[in-house]
Amino acid sequence: MVSWFRSPRPRAPLPRLRSRSSHVVATKVDFAELAPDTSSYLGLVAYLQLGFFQSISMVSAISDLAAKETLSTAAGFALAKHHGVVAEIRRRGEDPTEVMAPYVSRVDDFLTLTRGASVNENLLSIYITQGFLDDFFIRLSDGLPHDQGARYASLLGADSGAAGIVSLLTDAIGVDPKRAHFLAMCGRRLLGDTLLLAQSALVLDGHSESDDARIEPVFTELIATHTRRMDALGLTA
Amino acid sequence: MVSWFRSPRPRAPLPRLRSRSSHVVATKVDFAELAPDTSSYLGLVAYLQLGFFQSISMVSAISDLAAKETLSTAAGFALAKHHGVVAEIRRRGEDPTEVMAPYVSRVDDFLTLTRGASVNENLLSIYITQGFLDDFFIRLSDGLPHDQGARYASLLGADSGAAGIVSLLTDAIGVDPKRAHFLAMCGRRLLGDTLLLAQSALVLDGHSESDDARIEPVFTELIATHTRRMDALGLTA
């Protein structure tokens, strides 16, 4: 069994959500039980979408005109998801700024870690991290009260403009096939950072074996989807 | 009479749209006659709105969480205007990238010139330049075929989120009233740069007296609105 708690390279620990161990039934293998409370979920997701919006906007700013069209559209999609989640926070009578505040440094660190040195690395980062994390938070919404979880999943499942980004990356690799090896390597590093951010959203009971048993099937499936994302670029995962 | 063609300080000339002097009746004082053809108008406006979106996104990236909410909303409004204008370009059977291309360097230069060194300067720049230029292009739409011009004016007249930006700036000035003098000075420089960009969109007949006669009443009115914008911040225009 792969343990998701052992990082492939040393790094500073990410802050954890507060435990809700009283809710966890140790014998039941159920990923949904690892979901945080609704406010924490929405705060992290809202600020993460704002972060994706910022990252995509920044790549757009340094891209050529044709790519700007694709990227400004993708930025708009991330912003719409952010605003959708903010509306859900307000609907609960909570203040979006307060609810997002605990996740600012964690998400900012994640975005800094996953920022690339070139336009193509940044495009790959957006495609890989956003694709994985949207899927992850859709899965995690199963652990929230049913009607709410379904609404959040629907919000996050909306188009993110990934097809346009795939097209830009495929063109870039076509122009210079040497980029493929480097981007494949970047993809593996991005997966590692993304898994750690995803894990940080889970409320774990601290027993790594029982946590692993809950997490593994879902992460295995999300990683398979990640592999298909890399395949779509002609890259080895 | 103030001549809009004499800049208060030396700077590189902005590129001009092609002349359409054959359409200009020198004796009629009519601002609408200075409007460029529809494609040129849409190309410049589309790329300018994309630029506002980028500028606002960049300030959002370096702002605190509460300001990010205001700014991401304003960025979304600019992006919506951009997408609205792009849709109008497509509706004419034209390619948005080709139609925007001639204005990239002019707008990029303008955004570089009007970028500030601090968050507050950048907020002021967005508020002043976007406010003025949206008004200007709404006025200029009078010179386009009627039904189209009215649609573009309606697009540009949509909310830009200025109230939120005014609130951020008012708070900043309240915290440190010494900022008022500096921001008032910035506002005057921004007005100069903005007038030059606006002027570059006009198709002039090259006789500065007749051009001035057409431009002056409208620019006088737009500057009065600019003064009211500065007043709203408690700043001297």
Judge contact between A64 and B97, C-beta under 8 A. no
Q: In terms of C-beta density within 10 A (0-12 exposed, 13-18 middle, 19 or more buried), how is residue B206 classed? A: exposed
Select the residue from A47, A49, A97 to test the B interface by mutation, using most B Cβ atoms within 10 A. Answer: A97
Reported ipTM: 0.75
**Token pair for B54:** 């980028």
The residue with tokens 């205001």 is B70
Higher pLDDT, A3 or A203: A203
Per-residue confidence band for A140, with pLDDT thresholds at 50, 70 and 90: very high
Residue A18 is predicted with a pLDDT of 41
Q: pLDDT confidence of A22, banded at 50, 70, 90?
A: very low
- pLDDT, residue B20, reads 43
Q: Which of A11, A59, A39 is nearest to A195 (CA)?
A: A11
Task: Please report residues of B whose CB lies closer than 8 A to that of A68.
Answer: 50
Confidence check: pLDDT of A40 > 70: yes
Q: How far apart are CA B211 and CA B191, in angstroms?
A: 20
**pLDDT of A14 over the 50 cut:** no
Kindly report, residue by residue over B216-236, the tens digit of the pLDDT: 889 999 999 999 999 999 998
Interface of B with A (CB under 8 A): 47, 50, 53-54, 57-58, 60-61, 65-66, 68-69, 72-73, 75-76, 79-80, 82-83, 86, 96-97, 100-101, 104
* Percent share of chain A, pLDDT over 70: 88
Question: What is the four-CA torsion angle of A53, A54, A55, A60, rounded to 10 degrees?
Answer: 90
Q: d(Cα A175, Cα A198) in Å, to the nearest integer?
A: 34
Mean pLDDT of A82-103: 97
Q: Kindly tell me if the per-residue pLDDT of A84 is higher than 50.
A: yes
Mutation to test the B interface, candidates A55, A62, A70, A72, most B Cβ within 10 Å: A72
- Residue A90: the pLDDT is 97
Residue B208's pLDDT is 79
How many percent of chain A have pLDDT more than 90? Answer: 78
- State the nearest Cα–Cα gap between B83 and chain A, in angstroms: 8
CB within 8 A of A70, min separation 6: which ones?
Answer: A161, A164, A165, A167, A168
User: In this predicted structure, what is the pLDDT of residue A211?
Assistant: 84
Give the CATH H-level superfamily of domain B30-232: Ferritin, core subunit, four-helix bundle (1.20.1260.10)
Residues with Cβ within 8 Å of A104's Cβ and at least 6 positions away in sequence, in order, are: A47, B65
CB atoms B79 and A79 under 8 Å:
yes
What is residue B32's DSSP assignment?
Answer: G
Q: How confident is the model at residue A81 (pLDDT cuts 50, 70, 90)?
A: very high
Average pLDDT, chain A: 88
Q: Is A3 left (phi over 0), alpha (psi -120 to 50) or beta?
A: beta
> What is the structure's pLDDT at A206?
77
Q: Which of B76, B100, B104 sits opposite A79 (nearest CB)?
A: B76
Least confident of A30-34, A196-200, B111-115, B128-132: A30-34
Q: Which position has the token pair 């795939």?
A: A166
* Closest of B156, B43, B151 to residue B94, by C-alpha: B43
Q: Which residue has the tokens 């048993």?
A: A213
Q: Residue ranges of the alpha helices (H) in chain B?
A: 38-61, 65-91, 96-100, 104-113, 119-125, 131-140, 146-156, 162-175, 179-200, 208-232
Q: How many helices (H) and strands (E) does chain A have?
A: 10, 0
Quote the pLDDT of residue B13: 46
Which of A53, A60, A104 has the CB atom closest to B65's CB atom? A104
**With 90 as the cut, is the pLDDT of residue A113 above it?**
yes
pLDDT at residue number A8: 44
Both tokens assigned to B60: 């959002």
**At A131, is the secondary structure helix, strand, or coil?**
helix
Q: What pLDDT is stored for residue A3 in this prediction?
A: 52
pLDDT reading at A48 higher than 70: yes
Q: Which residue, among A70, A79, A94, A108, would best test binding to B if mutated, counting the most B CBs under 10 Å from its CB?
A: A79
**B72: which chain A residues are within 8 Å (Cβ-Cβ)?**
50, 53, 79, 82-83
Rounded CA separation B41/B51 (Å): 15
Query: Which one, of B134, A226, B79, lies nearest residue A236 by Cα?
Result: A226
pLDDT computed for residue B3 by the predictor: 52
**A33-232 CATH choice from 2.60.40.10, 1.20.1260.10, 1.20.1090.10, 1.10.10.10:** 1.20.1260.10
Low-confidence spans in chain B with pLDDT less than 50: 1-2, 6-29
Is the confidence at residue A205, as pLDDT, over 90?
A: no
**Closest-CA residue to B33 (of B231, B194, B220, B203):** B203
